[in-house]
């Protein structure tokens, strides 16, 4: 059987996972994929750290967006490489398990001194609808 969660339930799941927990953004140089492979997380060096962001509004229409900026520290003492994906985890610990991820619209080379910032409303997590 193929199917989907109803919109009300999809909204409840997104709200429970993102609004009611502390969410840490994590940057990746290669897709972590559905397995949540963390070996491609930006190296734990050059001032990289997972960073907290907020989702304080309930999900609607199968989507939830960040309600605060997600600003990573500036790279310091080295480059981070080309960042291709953003993921979310419940832990600030480098390479700890993930629960959601997605590709960036545009990959970004982060060099020494660069800082990456996702402004409020710029991150949208969606729960895809099924097909009939």
Helix (H, G, I), strand (E, B) or coil at 95: coil
Q: What string of DSSP letters covers 76-104? A: -SS--EEEEEEEEES--STTPPEEEEEEE
This prediction's pTM: 0.89
Residue 96 is predicted with a pLDDT of 81
Show the low-confidence residues of the chain (pLDDT under 50): none
How many helices and strands (H and E) does the chain possess? 1, 8
Give residue for tokens 């480059």.
79
Cα(20)–Cα(130) distance, integer angstroms: 26
Report the sign of the C-alpha dihedral through residues 14, 18, 20, 21, in that order.
positive
Residue 49 is predicted with a pLDDT of 95
Residue 1 is predicted with a pLDDT of 55
Q: What string of DSSP letters covers 7-18? A: HHHHHHHHIIII
């Amino acid at each position: 059987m193929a199917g989907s969660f109803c919109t009300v339930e999809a909204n409840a799941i997104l709200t429970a996972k993102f609004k009611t927990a502390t969410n840490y953004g994590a940057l990746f140089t290669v897709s972590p994929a559905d397995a949540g492979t963390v070996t491609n997380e930006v190296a734990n060096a050059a001032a990289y750290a997972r960073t907290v962001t907020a989702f304080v509004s309930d999900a609607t229409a199968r989507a939830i967006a960040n309600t605060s900026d997600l600003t990573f520290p500036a790279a310091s003492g080295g480059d981070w490489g080309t960042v291709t994906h953003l993921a979310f985890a419940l832990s600030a610990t480098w390479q700890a398990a993930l629960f959601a991820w997605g590709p960036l619209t545009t990959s970004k080379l982060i060099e020494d001194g660069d800082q990456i910032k996702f402004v409020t409303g710029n991150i949208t997590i969606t729960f895809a609808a099924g097909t009939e």
